[in-house]
Structure 1
Amino acid sequence: MAPLTLAVDTTTKTASGGKMHIAQLETRSKPFASLSTRGEEEKPFDFLRTVFEGVIAGGTAGVVVETALYPIDTIKTRLQAARGGGQIAWKGLYSGLAGNIAGVLPASALFVGVYEPAKQKLLKVFPENLSAFAHLTAGAIGGLAASFVRVPTEVVKTRMQTGQFSSAPNAVRLIVSKEGFKGLYAGYGSFLLRDLPFDAIQFCIYEQLRIGYKVAARRDLNDAENAVIGAFAGNF
């Protein structure tokens, strides 16, 4: 069907008897709007705002999750340490939480603060049908940036959970004095081999599920739906 056109030509006479054109309105029918935003006018990318929002969101989420799951992580660590037949201590399941949060907060903030702007930039580089690669790459970049804080935090946390140290500052001081600064990065290579693929795959699944759900629902997701999708993606 040809586009519909409505033209309204309103004129009025001037004092000299001439005519002055006032308005001409034209409306055309448009096809159904695409769910893709590539064809729409894009908002300018605000790098600092994206980083700031990512840092706040990541830091907050990291603290909440770590506080809620820390006892479970402590039990897991002690079970692994007691495989040789040792006894498992059930007291002090929150031992070392404060020191661990001191590392988790900046690590989580750094991850999301790097991931979000990297994702936005990469989505403009990759074709729309390859957005998954942008999410994979951004997840790996965010994980790599956060690893410089994550690994020392993990080293200190593990040793405190197994009762080797009484406080995080004491643990850092003794590890550095006995093993050098590299002692805080013990197992760094293994950490990268495990966590970088996990971060990349988890956030890729999360983003792709969000996109698919949004397309199917034809609306933005609410917080509860985002949380459920995040929990589902974290199980992979």
Structure 2
Amino acid sequence: MERKEFFASLLAGGSAGMCVDLILFPLDTIKTRLQSPQGFSMSGGFRGIYAGVPSTAIGSFPNASAFFVTYETVKCWLHSESSSYLSPLVHMAAASMGEVVACLIRVPSEVVKQRAQVSPSSTTYQMFAATLHHEGIRGLYRGYKSTVLREIPFSLVQFPLWEYLKDLWSWKQGRPLDSWQSAVCGAFAGGFAAAVTTPLDVAKTRIMLAKAGSTTAGGDVFLALTGIWKTQGFTGLFAGMVPRMAAISLGGFIFLGAYEKVRSLLL
């Protein structure tokens, strides 16, 4: 990847990510509280829906930038080494690598944000300080494995589907897509990926919110999913699916559309 393309991906990804995360933050708060073991009302209900937003504001730009720089770099490298019919596999591999790198930034931000979301009476800084005091740096990375295990399947569905829909639409109209058309493809791809990966998102939320020292806090995704199934059944596994789909569909529209638009302008 050339230096110009590198900086275009960096700025476009960061700008799009921060824009989406801040606009759709209330939906994310509602989703987190629906998935919380305390229950929606005890976690704050509709009160203080911007609790934890400073954590998102700080982490969003570098997180999205890290993802797209890695995604475009790996995609560029693999495309030069493979045939066109392997494109879906290339997009899957690039998205997976992007998520592994981005989660190094995303997870600490997510831990602090989610704990603030279910304790709206505490500030983001208080949650950050309390996590460091009681659990150290390790506490900020609690749920890293479960986040990666959620994000990789999500990206394996979303990005190949997004690229496929773009190629199909472009082929049917006989010219490259406009940024709004890319955004529509992103909305469909994101909404579908969000629906099928909701159980992994619920497990990730439970692990991040679990009391230190508890079995769930150990980070075992299968154990968390089993516990949810035993206590709440199918409904518990798909808690918060509707706001998650709504947020990610809207997010996919804004995020991927804005990314394509900003990147094309910079290039």
Question: Corresponding residue for 1:155?
Answer: 111
For residues 216 and 123 of structure 1, the distance between their equivalents in structure 2, rounded to whole angstroms, comes to: 23
Q: Provide the C-alpha distance between the structure 2 equivalents of 1:87 and 1:60, rounded to a whole number of angstroms.
A: 30
Within 2, Cα distance between the matches of 1:171 and 1:199? 29
* TM-score of the aligned structures, taking structure 1 as reference length: 0.75
Corresponding residue SS for 2:24: helix
2:168 to 208, 212, 223: 212
User: Superposition pairs for residues 155-234 of structure 1, below 5 Å?
Assistant: 155-163=111-119, 166-234=122-190
Q: Give the C-alpha shift of residue 110 in structure 1.
A: 0.8
Kindly provide the amino acid, as one letter, of the partner of residue 6 in structure 2.
V
Aligned to 2:15: 60
Q: CA deviation at 1:170?
A: 3.0
For 2:87 and 2:191, how far apart are their aligned partners in 1? 21
Question: What displacement does 1:234 show?
Answer: 0.4
**Residue 83 (structure 1) shift:** 2.8
Which of 11, 27, 32 pairs up with 1:77? Answer: 32
Shift of 1:147: 0.6
The equivalent residue for 1:108 is 64
1:85 is displaced (CA, Å) by: 7.2
Larger RCO (alpha carbons 8 Å, 6+ apart):
2
Cα gap change, 1:206 to 1:177, in 2 (>3 Å):
same
What are the Cα deviations for residues 18-55 of structure 1, in whole angstroms up to 9, with x where unaligned?
xxxxxxxxxxxxxxxxxxxxxxxxxxx52x22221111
Residues 163 and 122 (structure 1), Cα distance of their counterparts in 2 relative to 1, 3 Å cut: same
Shift of 1:164: 6.6
8 Å CA contact retained: 1:214, 1:220: yes
Is contact 1:100-1:157 (8 Å) kept?
yes
Distance 1:167 1:84, change over 3 A: closer
Aligned 8 A contact 2:47 2:120 in 1: no
Contact 1:159 1:165 in 2 (8 A): no
Bigger shift: residues 160-169 or 140-149: 160-169
More helix by share: 2
Cα distance change, pair 95–83 in 1 and its aligned pair in 2 (3 A): closer
Question: Highest Rg: 1 or 2?
Answer: 1
Q: Render the CA deviation track for 1:117-141: whole Å, top value 9, x for unaligned.
A: 2111111112111111111100001
Structure 2: 5+ residue stretches without partners: 193-267
Distance in 1, matches of 2:184 and 2:175, equals: 16
Identical-residue share of aligned pairs (%): 36
- Counterpart of 2:219? none
C-alpha distance in structure 2 between counterparts of 1:77 and 1:233, whole Å: 22
Number of aligned pairs? 191
Deviation at 1:200, TM superposition (A): 2.7
For 2:35 and 2:171, locate their aligned partners in 1 and report how far apart those are by CA, in whole Å. Answer: 44
Q: Which runs of 4+ in 1 moved over 4 A?
A: none
- Structure 2 letter corresponding to 1:220: P
CA distance in 2, matches of 1:84, 1:153: 22
Superposed CA RMSD? 1.8
Amino acid at match of 2:115: R
Give the Å deviation of 1:63: 1.3
Q: How big is each residue's C-alpha offset from its partner over 1:49-69, in whole Å with a ceiling of 9 and x where there is no partner?
A: 222111111111111111121
User: Pairwise mapping of residues 118-157 of structure 1 onto structure 2 (< 5 A)?
Assistant: 118-157=74-113
TM-score (ref. length: structure 2)? 0.67
